[in-house]
Amino acid sequence: MWKKIKSWPLLLPVVALILVMAVNIIHDAATGANPLSFFMISLRDTTTSGTILYGRIVDIINRGSEVAILAIGMTLVVSASAGTDISVGSVMSLCASFMCMMLAGYGVSSTTTLAVPLVIGLVAAIVMGIVCGAFNGTLVAHLSIQPMVATLILYSAARAIGLLLCNDLIVYVRNPSFAYFGAFTGPIPTPIIITVICIVIVSLVLRKTALGMYIQSVGINAKASRIAGLNSKLLIFLAYTLCGLFAAIAGIVASSRITSADSNNIGLYLEMDAILSVALGGNSLGGGKFNLAGSIIGAYTIQAITTTLYALGVSSIQAPVFKAVIVILIVVIEAPPFKAFVSKLSAANAAKGVRA
């Protein structure tokens, strides 16, 4: 039984999530609040969006949407190419800027009416994301450039191009139809719905077709997969393109939330969170086997950690210290040399017991 639990791939993210919840419960109990207030979900009437779901969990799942969407693409990229796409945050910002530029018209900094139909803006953002992803994919798959260097180009350029597109302004699109993607559908926050749709589609595709297996096999050994008849290059290219697509969707959500394209701040450091969710989800950053569910739980765990830190009174600029400590703890526990050391220790202890 213990062995079964130990080999469960979701052990790490689930344990981390439970720990975060425990901290919340202890904190609530210590401050005299209802210990279970973390889990409370209630309906609340607001003047702006009608009756909505309210609660800390809802907030975490809502705020964690962008990271969760990014984590889907990042998981595929890490699995297929044994590298990370560090450009997703910048690409998010570029897509958002491009979309808002289309919706508002070039050089307009604030508008309530849309210059083009909303659909065109959304399609523009998604096409931009796919183009960026394809650019990264071409560099990695066809020119065999290390993923980090290849994506470093868009990491520094995409945000800057977004600024150029917006004429160095923050473009506000104050239109209810645009704000919908960051607001509420009935009582449920729309970002949650978008995330669920993304996850369902991707997991269906991975389950029903052999794509998931192909990507894993390329990640485990690209050469062997090619000899076995898989088009390794195409699969790696596809993973990066999908990653770009999801970055675009995350960008749409992020920019709709604030009804503007703030090139300098949308998606800032989100690539780090996305990579972290993949690692936290028990996936090896060395490529190969992946576990999408792990990455998603990892993404929400990170958001839960962030929200918890805020609840504990840590300011947003100081929170990274705790994140760093958590990351180091997790990777050290997961590191093979550490595991070997621990099992050696326990073996030595057992030997001592036998001798006595």
Partner 1 sequence: MSDKAKAKKSFNSNTLLLFITIVLFAVLYAGGCIAYGSKGFTHFQTFLNILITNAGLICVTCGMTCVMLTGGIDISVGALIAMDCMLLAVGMKNGMGAVPMVLIILLIGAVFGIFQGFLVGYLEIQPFIVSMAGMFFCRGMTAVICTDQVSITQEINPVFYAWANAKVIVPFGGYINNKGKYMAPYVRPGVIVALLVLVITFIMLRYTKFGRSLYAVGGSAQSAAMMGLNVKRIKMGAYMLSSFLCSVGGICYCLNTMAGSVSQATGLEMDAISSAVIGGTLLTGGVGNVIGSFFGVLINGTISSIVKTNGKLASSWPNILTAALLFVFIVIQSIFAAIRERNK
**Ramachandran quadrant class, 32 (left: phi over 0; alpha: psi -120 to 50; beta: rest):** left
Q: How far is the CB of 171 from partner 1 (least distance, A)?
A: 15
| Residue 313 lies near partner 1 (rule: CB under 8 A) | no
| Residue 305, token pair as written in the block | 């950690």
| Residue 319 lies near partner 1 (rule: CB under 8 A) | yes
| Residue 342 lies near partner 1 (rule: CB under 8 A) | no
Please give the distance of CA 249 from its chain centroid, rounded to a whole number: 11
Residue in 18, 210, 286, 350 binding partner 1, rule: CB under 8 A: 286
Residue in 22, 197, 210, 321 binding partner 1, rule: CB under 8 A: 321
Closer residue to partner 1, CB minimum distance, 140 or 242: 140
Q: Taking contact as CB under 8 A, which single stretch among the options 9-17, 39-47, 139-147, 172-180 is the one that binds partner 1?
A: 139-147
Residue in 7, 47, 48, 315 binding partner 1, rule: CB under 8 A: 315
Q: How far is the CB of 70 from partner 1 (least distance, A)?
A: 15
CB 163 within 8 A of CB 263: yes
Q: What angle do CA 61, 36, 11 make, to 5 degrees?
A: 55
Q: How far is the CB of 169 from partner 1 (least distance, A)?
A: 11
Q: Which residues contact residue 261 at a Cβ distance below 8 angstroms, ignoring those fewer than 6 apart? A: 93, 96, 97, 99, 100, 101, 162, 166, 170, 171, 173, 255
Q: How far is the CB of 340 from partner 1 (least distance, A)?
A: 10
Closer residue to partner 1, CB minimum distance, 279 or 299: 279
DSSP 8-state class, residue 113: S
| Residue 324 lies near partner 1 (rule: CB under 8 A) | yes
| Residue 106 lies near partner 1 (rule: CB under 8 A) | no
| Sequence-separated contacts (24+) of 181-184 with Cβ below 8 Å | 181/252, 181/253, 181/256, 181/257, 182/253, 182/254, 182/255, 182/256, 182/257, 182/258, 182/259, 183/49, 183/256, 184/49, 184/50, 184/52
Residue in 102, 222, 235, 272 binding partner 1, rule: CB under 8 A: 272
| Euclidean distance between CA atoms 188 and 234, whole angstroms | 38
| Residue 275 lies near partner 1 (rule: CB under 8 A) | yes
CB 247 within 8 A of CB 73: yes
Residue in 155, 184, 237, 240 binding partner 1, rule: CB under 8 A: 155
The residues that touch partner 1, with contacts defined as CB under 8 A, are: 84, 139, 143-146, 148-150, 152-157, 159-161, 163-164, 168, 272, 275-276, 279, 285-286, 315, 317-325, 327-328, 331-332, 335-338
